[in-house]
Chains A and B, each alone.
Chain A
Amino acid sequence: MLGNFFTAVGSLFQFLFQRKVLPQTAAVFEALAESITPLPGNPVSAGSERDKYAAAYYIYTLDHYVSLKVCFKPSTFGLANAAAKMLNMAAKQLIDSGKNEHPADSAFASAHGMFAALHTKDRCRVISLLEHLQVDLAGLPVPFYKNPGTVLAVVSILTMLGSAGHYSEWTGYGATRSGPPAARKLVQFPAGWQQVGYPGPAKGYHGLRGCLRDKFSE
């Protein structure tokens, strides 16, 4: 009981004051990106340059998502570390409940966390467990601890962020991606656009095929 209390308090302090991105946080989001949008013909992309881009996208978004007033001052609450921990804890719960379909790589888990050690489909199973609140919420870190609303608010956007990060222009920003939004410049043709045959923005197209006659009766 007392142990739980101290764990919760520790988690709260870490959430409020931990500003640095933890090593396992990057590993979790690289693994998530690999599960959602793997590089074609490359079933294991974790650790690739593209996954580093994708992880940066997740981390920036989650760390700038929530701003609240605390002691008369607006403060931004970084969610990336806590969300990564939530995914690792939920991954552990998936394994403990025997719901993973593929064995986890335990050697990989010790360095990169349990989520990244799962097979890509089992990582989606972890998201699914969280989306349906089929995890022990008391085992999650602050601000997700016993807080289904916060869990859903974050988990519901994770898959979307993965695809938006990959198929938008984000991967074309190169090193400028880590700068403020106004400083980002397209330095290369985005990988996602290339994969899907999107030529990039144009000023217009000669695509007109007429108009259905619009003679209104009134």
Chain B
Amino acid sequence: MTYDADAIIIGAGGGGPVAAKALGELGLKTLLLEAGPWYGHKKWPRPNEERGPQGDNNPANLSSELLRKCFTDNEDDMNNYVTGKFRWGHADRNRPPWFRYIPSGGFIWQSSGVGGTTLLYFANSPRAFPGAVDDLWPISYRTLLPYYEKVEATLPVVAAPMTAKEELFFFGAQKAGWPRLKTRNVTSPGYRPQPNAIFSPPPQITDLQYKFNGAETGCTLRGHCINGCSIGPTVAKTAKRSTFASYVPLALNTGAVEIRPNTFVTRILTATEKGSLVATGVSFRDTWTGHTGELNAKVVIVAAGAIETPRLWHNSHLPYNPWVGKGLTNHWFDCISGIFAEQDLMQILGMPDVKPYVGQNSAARFDYPGLGVLQGLGLSPGLFASFLYTLSDSYDFLRRPDPAVPWNFCGKVTGDKLARLMQDYPRTLSILLFTDDEVNQHNGVSFSSFLQDEHGPIPVVTYRPGHKDKQKRDKLAAIAADILKKAGAKSILRADCAPYLFAHMQSTMRMGYVVDEDCETLQVKRLYIADNSVLNNSLGGPNPTLTTQALATRTAEKLAHKYFGGV
């Protein structure tokens, strides 16, 4: 049999490029297939308007000038769910997004494109809580450590810099009596600078006469992590280490990896060998032309995310497994904010506001193993208003006042009240909350039996957090309110987000249930998974990307050893 590649990887998001780089370094010919566009590349100068060539493998074609052209910093242009450059959809924004049905309401913040959702992520890269892995996963936390270290060195992961909003967050946390954490292996509550994959600010940033030009090496604190970071002299030196800027250039540098954007994989091909089902390749569809084709490889790695990976399993008619698509965790978000008086801010910070748009989007952190995570949040105003005031399923003005709660507002805010609160935007400090939500087999992704798009039955997402999840979330919300109060906030607002916002979708193809401890699927040999779906649980609350990247590094090593003799 002739092969198109040693390995085919489906999806160039948070995990796929990590595996590609590792396999490429071993000299294995690897094809990385991505459904969306490739921004910042000379072969695709107009990635949303023209198909361009089939693929590319030349790192010299990456272009930071083109990246800056594509990433306009405008939040609607970049993050609109329907037409944004960062949406789950076709590269051509005149076409509608690829539909996902959420019968309980809400929206899924995922992006297609080389870089996937890391195009818009905050680059927060904490490790899982050890207590959420040991004795629960098939592998120990200690097993993960060398892979964490490897990814942390490669990205790299550093301690985030402070601007006014982080200083205020730490001031409140300290006044509330919480200790500062000095470890990446968190076993007790406390606050710390965000461990994130963003280059530290360049030294010239402290010179008040310095004029920014966008080509600096390092973060310029401009607050557009979520709208797409293009700061850097080259794509490979872009400040925020989305995979398109970190692992993709490294993978291309190996000379063994080719990336094909606009290529939607619709099916995993299999054959039976010695009585076992084995993966042999993929069927794909060119998203611009609609042409279909097949590619063969010795190993297939699915890194299509917590929805599309189980969808591929389903659409490929792979063997039944009661955990495929099930066990979804998502950290049930909430957002607690404080509004400060100018004179108090002058006293604490020496300036009259905190300017949520200055600095990295999420550079301060508070961890509480057993409950979850709090992290600072500062955004441009459209996204800011959405997070703070629109994600509840009830309006503040329709609630019965409750003097026992530590917040002055709770739920959706509209009308004159919203206009007044938004006038306090420059003096608002926000804290995002991630719940350590529990795995429940009722939550997950299923597939419509009658609604289809061009890639098969559409995904139906179900997520109803349990009673314990609610208790944890409420405790974290009270801690966040206390931190803000201790920092001097005059009023506290709780967004009280319904489980509407899907931004940390994970654990739908869980290790130990769908894949083994090396992330090879239990029922199909030579088929591996390298995305958030293999996480066994919600990690205790920490952001999932670093753990997925650590596992993808390990998976590549394991499969190379098993099927390529370690090379």
Contact = CB atoms under 8 A, between A and B. Distances in A.
A169 B390 contact: no
Contacts of A164: 75-76, 80, 382-383, 385-386, 390
B76 A170 contact: yes
Interface in B427-485: 451-454, 458
A67 B101 CA distance: 11
B528 to A, nearest CB: 30
Interface in A62-78: 64-69, 74, 76
Contacts of A174: none
A38 to B, nearest CB: 6
A100 interface: no
**Contact residue range for chain B?**
35 or more
Contacts of B200: 211
Interface stretch (A82-90, A134-142, A191-199): A191-199
B273 interface: no
A168 B381 contact: yes
Interface in B187-232: 192-193, 200-201, 205-208, 210, 212-214, 216, 220-224, 227, 231
B393 A169 contact: no
A163 B183 CA distance: 39
A174 B106 CA distance: 29
A203 B206 contact: no
Nearest to A150: B103
A68 B453 contact: yes
A98 interface: no
B386 A160 contact: yes
B39 interface: no
Contact of B415 (A36, A65, A131, A203): A36
B48 interface: yes
A178 interface: no
A167 interface: yes
B416 interface: yes
A127 B210 CA distance: 50
B380 A201 contact: yes
Interface string A31-46: 0000111101001000
B412 A159 contact: yes
B418 A163 contact: yes
A69 B164 CA distance: 50
B171 to A, nearest CB: 11
A69 B214 CA distance: 43
Given A68-B451, A216-B183, A181 B77 contact: yes
A157 interface: yes
A150 B451 CA distance: 13
Interface in B158-180: 158-164, 166-167, 170, 180
A214 B159 contact: yes
Interface stretch (A11-19, A105-113, A118-126): A118-126
Contact of B453 (A69, A148, A166, A198): A69
B562 interface: no
B490 interface: no
A204 B216 contact: yes
Contacts of B216: 204
A192 B398 contact: no
A169 B77 contact: yes
Nearest to B223: A205
Contacts of B395: 124, 127-128
B382 A167 contact: yes
A153 interface: yes
Nearest to A170: B76
A66 B382 contact: no
Contacts of A212: 159, 162, 170, 180, 192-193
Nearest to B460: A149
Contact of B390 (A149, A155, A163, A199): A163
**Max chain A CB contacts within 10 Å: which of B164, B414, B500?**
B414
Interface of B: 48-49, 73-77, 80-83, 93-99, 101-107, 158-164, 166-167, 170, 180, 182-185, 192-193, 200-201, 205-208, 210, 212-214, 216, 220-224, 227, 231, 355, 357-359, 380-386, 389-391, 393-395, 397-398, 412, 414-416, 418-419, 422-423, 425-426, 451-454, 458, 498, 500
- A-B pairs, top 3 by smallest CB distance, nearest first, are A204-B220, A156-B105, A149-B103
24 contacts: A64-B82, A68-B99, A120-B415, A124-B395, A124-B398, A131-B393, A149-B103, A152-B103, A153-B101, A163-B385, A168-B74, A168-B76, A168-B383, A169-B76, A204-B216, A205-B358, A206-B206, A208-B205, A211-B161, A211-B200, A212-B192, A214-B192, A216-B184, A217-B183
Given A40-B419, A203-B231, 5 more contacts: A150-B103, A164-B80, A180-B93, A205-B220, A212-B159
